[in-house]
Amino acid sequence: MRNNLRTLFLSIIILLFCSVAYGADYVENEVIVLTRDSNMTGSALSAAAREGSAAKAAALAKSVGAVSRRSYPALTAGSGRSIVLLSSQTKTADELILSLKGNPDVIGVTKNYRMKAHGKTPDDALWNRQWGPKRIKVPEVWENASVGSEEVYVAVLDTGAAYDHPDLAANISGILPDGTYGKMFHSNGSVTEVVRSGTPSCDVTIEDPREVDYATVGDVGGHGTHVSGIIGAVGNNEIGVTGVNWRVKILPVGVFTVGELCDKDNKKSFATAAIVADTIGALNYIVTLKRIYGLNIRVANMSIGSWKEIVDQDTNPYAQSIKLVSDAGIIVCMAAGNEDQDIDNPINSDYEGMRPYPACFRFENTITVGASNEHDGLGITSGSNYSSSGKWVDIMAPGDNIMSTTPMYSYAGSREYNRTGYDSWSGTSMATPMVAGAAALLCAVYPDKSANEIKMMLMSGAENVLRKGYSKYGLLNVCNASRTRSGDSGGGCSAGFALLALIALVPLAAWKRKK
């Protein structure tokens, strides 16, 4: 009876190795073999039995051009069988399996898979409030493949970033190949080089938004800091939150201008907007850094947009600017918007004959992102746009109540930011960096894959959730994507304002606090 149970146990081991393995992720040139072994019939093994079993394993290995690296005699004692790890310098795992086929002493063979039943859990203090990364199965990738790479750059075209935030600083890009810390494109044609000196950017109070020092402020609105934290807040550092990437290089590129608005009672309030001409300047900048200076920018995040009259993307300058970024091998992730509209057929008459841009620009390496909630429904607090035909929204990702990094300062006339440096916001602005972060993480795992291959891995790995009637591919699943060959099927793991008479884009976040 004991031998029968032990045999059953060994069979289960082989079955688990074959069925629970993490995709095709295995140690190449190695196999694990279950063999018949008369030396293992006794429950208490003698030295002679161990030596005999080792000799048998060595002979088996030699017969297929391998060596016996390890056996497990305590486990197999009394079963009449052995488990042996074979390794070869000349044969692949598949070739070893083929060579062992037909050997009467071999009961079964498996590749030496890398497996883990549970994903890696970071020790960041607010991890328990981060439902988004858990839902898209990022911890499984952290455990089995990578936590990110400092060799991968993500350009965040936004309000900037608090570059010295304690949970971001290590992952913010340093001096760039052009000799700067980055640039802010603002005020319809002004370009300011970022200078990291003076008062810390993470704890600045701006009394007059008309006198912003774009060189030192870091973040002119807070939105970019929140987006950056979703992509790459430092992971496993015992504080705050973790990004989709524990390690990455975030390149903040400011595209927003600070201004004031007056209501009908002439009451002034603080506001920011991105002018298209400045945004095109920023797109030109990141392509320059990649093509001229060789900076490894793999992804760009654009959590900005507004509804405008339908344009021909083949002749529209803004669209063609994004196409050129896509053509440069950069994955451009764009937010679908927060107006709670079906882009194919808006129910609000204010949007008839219009579409949200840049979300509706469609090029080889662009991805348009809608927001989901904690119950796998359409983002409620985000008011996510969607596409009933699937033509305009590629993929959905968590966007409701997303905890991330914020600056610790306030602006005159603006809302107070959380003095802890963390807060929960909602919007397709939050969903988009989930996808941008996922793209960066896959670039770390597969550094030689093209932008389009990485994009199609993300699309093919999506779950069949919020797909029909909402998006083309469904809900982001990074674990599925990481083990999906590009093209294969996966599954299972604010209103803007006009500024300087140009089109303005607004951060696509619903500024909601989680009490």
Q: Which residues are catalytic?
A: 158, 223, 429
3-state secondary structure at position 247 = strand
CA 190 to chain centre: 32
CA 382 to chain centre: 20
Helices 451-460/428-445 angle, 10° precision: 120
Burial of residue 338 (number of CB atoms within 10 Å: 0-12, 13-18, 19+)? buried
Rg (CA), the chain: 27
Helix/strand/coil percent split, the chain, to 5? 30, 25, 45
DSSP for 102-153 reads: T-TTEEEEEEEE---SS------TTGGG-HHHHHTTHHHHHHHT-SEEEEEE
Query: Would strands 331-335 and 366-372 be described as parallel, antiparallel, or unpaired?
Result: parallel
Q: What is the dihedral of CA 338, 433, 305, 498, to 10 degrees?
A: 100
3-state secondary structure at position 292 = coil
The answer to whether 81 touches 107, Cβ cutoff 8 Å, is yes
Residue with tokens 């992971």: 235
36: enclosing H helix or E strand: strand 26-36
Cα–Cα distance measured from residue 187 to residue 130, given in angstroms and rounded to the nearest whole number: 36
Query: Would strands 67-71 and 81-87 be described as parallel, antiparallel, or unpaired?
Result: antiparallel
Cα–Cα distance measured from residue 337 to residue 378, given in angstroms and rounded to the nearest whole number: 12
Cα–Cα distance measured from residue 173 to residue 194, given in angstroms and rounded to the nearest whole number: 12
Burial of residue 353 (number of CB atoms within 10 Å: 0-12, 13-18, 19+)? exposed
Which residues on adjacent β-strands are paired with residue 304? 507
Cα–Cα distance measured from residue 504 to residue 508, given in angstroms and rounded to the nearest whole number: 12
Apex 77 CA angle, 75 and 82, nearest 5: 75
Q: 374-412 as b/e, with b when 16 or more CB fall inside 10 Å?
A: eeeebbbbbbbbbbeebebbbbbbbbbbbbbbbbbbbbe
Q: Which residue in 327, 352, 324 sits closest to 339, CA to CA?
A: 352
Q: What is the dihedral of CA 477, 113, 35, 51, to 10 degrees?
A: -150
The answer to whether 282 touches 301, Cβ cutoff 8 Å, is no
